[in-house]
Structure 1
Amino acid sequence: MENILFLQYPKCGTCQKAAKWLSNNNVNVVVRDITTKNPTVAELTDWITRSGKPINKFFNTSGRIYKEQNLKDVVKTASPEELIKLLSTNGMLVKRPIVVSDKFVLVGFDESEWAESLSQSRF
């Protein structure tokens, strides 16, 4: 079985719910606290590309830092490279949880999407 990376903020309710779901569904993951080990520019570039989602979907738009820095406007006008660099500066800017496998990247917790993707990745 492949290694599956689970990026979370341990105090995040959605991350806790997702972690419980992973455990209940016997999905073994390598856990990484997104606040103590920020995703790198290279990781984010890879994950965004592989997820098929636009960069703005990787921003934690409900987070305090996003709101305090008024990043809503920045996200609309900055280049993809600038946005990825910004995301790499602080894990609290990144939407979570994130699941990264060899076959897919999931952003945010959508139980049906997770069930479909993770069931297809088994052996």
Structure 2
Amino acid sequence: MKIQFFGYPKCSTCNKASKWLKDNNIEFEHNQIVDNPPTKELIKEILEKTNIEIKKLFNTSGTKYRELQLKDKLPNMTEEEQIEKLVSDGMLVKRPLVFDGKHLTLGFKEEEFEQIWIKS
């Protein structure tokens, strides 16, 4: 699977992550997270292959997250309902989300990108 990058053009963290990948000659498919959010199938694959908690996929510092009061609602939602919420609006997804079918990074930490995305 080609590296999938989900970012937002006005997000400085996304732009830093994208630049880092380009500067390190790492090919990836860039997806604008609002126009092309991760699919339900992709979210399920991420959960299955990385064992990450679903709540970590949410952009908890985002305006939309606060507007929808998801901090209080998520604990009472099923995993399926949480996935539906994530795929309904790309702004609810933590970004940048980078996934290659095995590895996942959320946000941008250069050390983490070096460990995960530079193949030796």
Which residue does the alignment assign to 2:117? Answer: 118
The alpha carbon displacement at 1:110 in A equals 2.2
Find the counterpart in structure 2 of residue 27 from structure 1.
Answer: 26
Tell me the secondary structure at the aligned position of residue 11 of structure 1.
Answer: coil
Aligned residue pair count:
120
Structure 2: gaps spanning 5 or more residues: none
Q: Percent identity?
A: 39
The answer as to whether partners of 1:14 and 1:109 remain within 8 angstroms in 2 is yes
3-state SS of 1:96 partner:
coil
For 2:110 and 2:47, the matched residues in 1 are separated by: 20
Query: What is residue 92 of structure 2 aligned with on the other side?
Result: 93
SS in 2 for 1:85: helix
**Where do 1:12-23 residues align within 5 Å?**
12-23=11-22
Displacement after TM superposition at 1:29 (Å): 0.9
Structure 1 unaligned blocks of 5 or more = none
Aligned residue number for residue 46 of structure 1 = 45
- What is the one-letter code of the residue matched to 1:27? I
1:6–1:29 Cα contact (<8 Å) kept:
yes
Moved more, 101-110 or 70-79: 101-110
Deviations along 1:72-123, whole A, 9 cap, x unmatched? 0112221111101110100000001011113312222122121111123x5x
